[in-house]
Structure 1
Amino acid sequence: MKNYSTLIPDVESNVLLRERTHTKTGGRVQYVFYPHNLEELKTVVSTLKSDDVYFEIFGEMTNIAVSEDNLDFVVINMMRYDENLDPEWDGKRFLTVSASMKMKKLAVWAYNSSIKGLAWMEGIPGTVGAGIFMNAGFLVGQDMETYLVSAEYLDLDDLEVKNVQNQDLNFRYRYSKFHDMNAIVLKGTFLLYPLKRDWKHVLRKYKLKLQMNKYHARRANNQPLGLPSAGTVFVPPTPWHVGGMMRELNMVGYQIGGAQISPKSPGFIVNVGGMTGEDYFKLVEYMQTKVHDNYNLTIVPEVRLISRMGDPRRKH
């Protein structure tokens, strides 16, 4: 592979991904590129495509498990894109946000700005761009599908910036059309509501804060936040519940290597020490097999499982 260490100003070489992913899994990649603006992003993408170098697009890396091999791809990380750029609020209904902004940070920003609609983001890790990509959410009606108006993205085929409307993203649980597009999300625009600034404004803001605290407490009470994980492993096979099936099958606490079915929340796989990406993959497969054998159901991971060659569901 060529030397890309000076392709853009912000590049890291020989990066061990287990030091960056929330699951604490992942081998080495030769380069991680951090584009700060559109020009740098286009430079990286066009160069890598021209040189036939495969790349993965990551944000905060909250929803992935990665192989421990030396990895045959490089990473474009969008965490620093438009760094420190403030959200753009029109004062009435529309808020436009960089894809690099963390959802938790955006929830706090909206609260401080007396804007209602994003309290549910307070308890969700990851960036706005990743959240749009996977239709992140908390409860029904508290998700990207409900509040997103449109998204701006870079088409990786022609390197043109384009927009897509909510109704064209085919949202469903933890899915958007971006899964099947060759694109990088750059911005999202949301339909929100300003808190009315009358004599009840302080009370309204207090209620909004209580709502955020409620989301935070629910997540802390129901999820194994003290251990590395990628969150809920599988798309819920409605009306079944994966955690409930794990309890019925006496699989709670089952472990392969350092990967364990969480006793606190059996829909999670947690890293109890030294978990590898391969441990995670094997435990996912084991859970799928047991559920299929006992319930005749096929459960599908919502966590991205990144092999040595990259995500098999993605193409560039």
Structure 2
Amino acid sequence: MSESDIPLAWTLRSIVGEENVLVDEPMSGHTTFRVGGPADLLVTPDDFDEVRDVLHACEDAGVERFVLGRGSDLLVSDEGYRGVIVALTEGLVGVAVEGTQMCCQAGVDLREASEMACELGLSGLEFACGIPGSVGGACFMNAGAYGGCVADVLKCVRVLMPDGTQETIDVCDLNLGYRQSRVHDEGLVVLSATFALTRGDTEKIRATTDDLMRRREEKQPLELPSAGSTFKRPEGHYAGKLIHDAGLMGYQVGGAAVSKKHAGFVVNVGGATAADVRAVIGHVQEEVERQFGVRLETEVRFLG
């Protein structure tokens, strides 16, 4: 961190406490790829007001900031991030249940929300049982799997607007689509999400989640660090099939490779750098486009 950033560190410590501001924090410990260089500052707010004040302080200081969930769709460069990472998964983890509605703060693990719903006999979040992201991130990208997605069960989100005010936005006004949302498009920050679930039989819900997890374990390389599905589904195609048909399963650069178990995953097979991952992704994109005329877009986001 440069000398010019030290006053900002003091300001942020006054907002969230000294123990909640880390300097030169390696991002490899905060992403599911397990790669990434240091962020100048990593800040962990404990409540909505602290999130607002941290973002306001960064804006006043003219310093870049990035709001982080569980880092499950993120590749941070080896050089790291010159700015402030605002991490929500330690402080914003409250859950409130009223009837069939479950309100989760943005930092709640989506898998834990699914498990909690199951234990309460609430149906609707079964699809999320294996998605390794936060509730905030799931709303940001309309996460989904196995025929279900956030849009199916979301009632509303509480967000921080760009001007620092809080608003509750109904799901019908979020423009949720395939891996897209108004949250993404307008730079909103999800503070909490309320899911509208239905009463169900706990044993049947458990049977469904167990079946989905078995299918994931059989087909996906969950034993290796990755960011899940690396590429979006191209219209009229499946990314994994295109990559497989291009003969790219197992293609490797350094410690990063196309999974031999599921071609749609780029995985860290050991000691990968962000540059390795980028090289694999780039080669896959070039080869698939060369062979089939389809340009694959990444689900993974790049930072730094």
TM-score normalised by structure 2 residue count = 0.93
Per-residue CA deviations over 1:201-243 (Å, capped at 9, x if unaligned) read xxx3211111110111111111101111000011111321222
Is 1:121 aligned to residue 113 of structure 2?
no
CA–CA separation in structure 2 for the residues paired with 1:229 and 1:295: 25
Is 1:266 aligned to residue 272 of structure 2?
no
CA–CA separation in structure 2 for the residues paired with 1:121 and 1:48: 33
Q: Alignment partner for residue 169 of structure 1, among 162, 168, 174? A: 174
Q: Secondary structure at the match of 2:228?
A: strand
Q: Give the conservation status (yes or no) of the 8 Å contact 2:110–2:128.
A: yes
CA–CA separation in structure 2 for the residues paired with 1:181 and 1:82: 21
Deviation (angstroms), 1:139: 2.1
Q: Give the conservation status (yes or no) of the 8 Å contact 2:154–2:195.
A: yes
Segments of structure 1 that go 5 or more residues without pairing to the other structure are 196-203, 309-316
CA–CA separation in structure 2 for the residues paired with 1:38 and 1:237: 37
Identity between Structure 1 and Structure 2 (%): 27
Per-residue CA deviations over 1:100-132 (Å, capped at 9, x if unaligned) read 111111111111111111122211111111111
Q: Alignment partner for residue 33 of structure 2, among 23, 26, 31? A: 23
Q: Alignment partner for residue 244 of structure 2, among 247, 252, 260? A: 247
CA–CA separation in structure 1 for the residues paired with 2:54 and 2:264: 37
CA–CA separation in structure 1 for the residues paired with 2:146 and 2:127: 8
Q: Name 1:63's counterpart in structure 2.
A: 73
Q: Name 2:88's counterpart in structure 1.
A: 78
Deviation (angstroms), 1:81: 3.1
CA–CA separation in structure 2 for the residues paired with 1:260 and 1:80: 31
- The 5 Å alignment of 1:153-192 reads 153-155=159-161, 157-192=162-197
Deviation (angstroms), 1:28: 0.7
Deviation (angstroms), 1:95: 2.3
Is 1:102 aligned to residue 109 of structure 2?
yes
Deviation (angstroms), 1:270: 0.4
Q: Give the conservation status (yes or no) of the 8 Å contact 2:254–2:276.
A: yes
Is 1:2 aligned to residue 17 of structure 2?
no
Q: Give the conservation status (yes or no) of the 8 Å contact 1:281–1:305.
A: no
Instruction: Name whichever structure is richer in helix by fraction.
Output: 2
TM-score normalised by structure 1 residue count = 0.89
Moved over 3 A (4+): none
CA–CA separation in structure 1 for the residues paired with 2:176 and 2:33: 26
Q: Name 1:37's counterpart in structure 2.
A: 47
CA–CA separation in structure 2 for the residues paired with 1:187 and 1:71: 26
Per-residue CA deviations over 1:51-110 (Å, capped at 9, x if unaligned) read 000011111111111100142122000112334x23232x1x432221111111111111
